[in-house]
Amino acid sequence: MLTCGAGHTLAGNTAQEGQSAIMRSYPNPATEDIRLHDVLFALSDPTRLAIAALLKDGREVTSGELDVPVSKSTLSHHLKILREAGITRTRTEGLRCYISFRQADLELLFPGMFDLVLSYANIAEMQNA
């Protein structure tokens, strides 16, 4: 197993063993390890707040399906912050990574908080338009 940037590990056979594809494994914090200050920090960035709002509907998406006006590397950084804060969960299936909002975990820890934060974010967005 190899560790590489962006906080994920690579698993699979080495090139010497004839394996060309490398599977990524993304660490997702356990529910009991999610901390309010990490969640609030993650949501303090407008891009990350927009990503959380896009995922709030329960869909599981790949990063390419997220319509945010940032480069791939910047999007990867924002997704890492959201995942490490416990807001999103990333799972791999083959070579694809699927991202989802951790609705049940977050509602258990912080009841009603995300609906409130996202509603205020929508109000602020409309006032700035």
Query: What are the per-10-residue average pLDDT scores of the chain (129 residues)?
Result: 38 44 78 96 94 92 92 95 97 91 96 90 61
Q: How far is CA 38 from the centre of its chain?
A: 13
Entry pTM: 0.78
Question: What are the residues facing 2 on neighbouring strands?
Answer: 10
Cβ contact 29:15 at 8 Å: no
- Listed by start position, the domains of the chain span 2-128
Distance between first and last Cα of the chain:
48
User: Could you give phi then psi for residue 36, rounded to 5 degrees?
Assistant: -60, -45
Q: According to the model, what pLDDT value does residue 77 have?
A: 96
Q: May I ask the CATH class of domain 2-128?
A: mainly alpha
